[in-house]
Amino acid sequence: MASLRRARANAAGVLAGLPIAAIEVEPGAVTIWTERPFLSLPAFLAHSSTIVLAPAAYDAVGAVTAMIGPGPPTARPSSSPR
């Protein structure tokens, strides 16, 4: 999640200006809510600056020490209001 926060905060980053309403983290899941349907979101998330890393990828001070992914992504479309 830290990598997504960093990418979203970067005004020149690939997530800047996208219709992202919220990013939520739960055990075993990262949920990204959009303000409207945004079919291109997976392409933006494939960029190297938006990689979601597993907790084991970070050391005690939060520095990335290894490229360890959380596993394959899955997508669930939602029409529920946010």
Q: Is residue 13 part of a domain?
A: yes
Confidence (pLDDT) at 1 = 63
Q: Is residue 74 part of a domain?
A: no
Residuewise pLDDT in 10s, the chain (82 residues)? 667 777 778 777 888 889 999 888 888 788 889 999 998 998 888 887 787 888 888 899 988 899 887 777 777 776 655 5
Distance (Å, whole) CA 20 – CA 50: 13
Q: Is residue 66 part of a domain?
A: no
Q: Is residue 72 part of a domain?
A: no
pTM: 0.69
User: What's the number of domains the chain is made of?
Assistant: 1
Range of the domain at 38: 2-57
